[in-house]
Amino acid sequence: MQRKVHSTDDAPGAIGPYSQAVTAEGKFMFLSGQVPLRPDGTLVSGPIEDQAEQVMRNLEAVLTSAGLTFANVVKTTILLSSMDHFAKVNEVYGSRFPEAPPARATYAVAGLPKGADIEIEMVAVY
């Protein structure tokens, strides 16, 4: 199996034993979950919209590093600290997918890395 690790300094580095993204067989890119960390590692706190915006910027940076865009994304998973954030996150997320959005699952979870309120992972195709 052909496997390639991708990383970029335009998104925060891994805070554990994982890669920002991995390409499989040159067809699929699996992007690790991003929380609202700036590339320098500081956490964006405050309104969920600000946190979601940083997460989407991070994911875009990882996609761009592999020559991809949000149009290549086929599946996402959104993890939230509370479903109360659902509508506001949808506004930020939806702005990146104005047409034919990818398949998606959204869950409320007990906790996220660094105490974040949101984490999003993606799968993209070439």
Q: Give tens-digit pLDDT for 26-72.
A: 799 999 999 999 999 999 999 999 999 999 999 999 999 999 999 99
Confidence of residue 103 (pLDDT cuts 50, 70, 90): very high
Q: What is the CA radius of gyration of the chain?
A: 14
The pLDDT value recorded for residue 35 is 98
In terms of Cβ atoms closer than 10 Å to its own Cβ (0-12, 13-18, 19+), residue 73 is: buried
Helix, strand, coil tally for the chain in percent (to 5):
30, 30, 40
Domains assigned to the chain: 3-125 (3.30.1330.40)
The model scores a pTM over 0.85: yes
Residue 60 gets which letter from DSSP? H
CA count, 13 A, side-chain hemisphere, 36: 21
Confidence of residue 24 (pLDDT cuts 50, 70, 90): confident
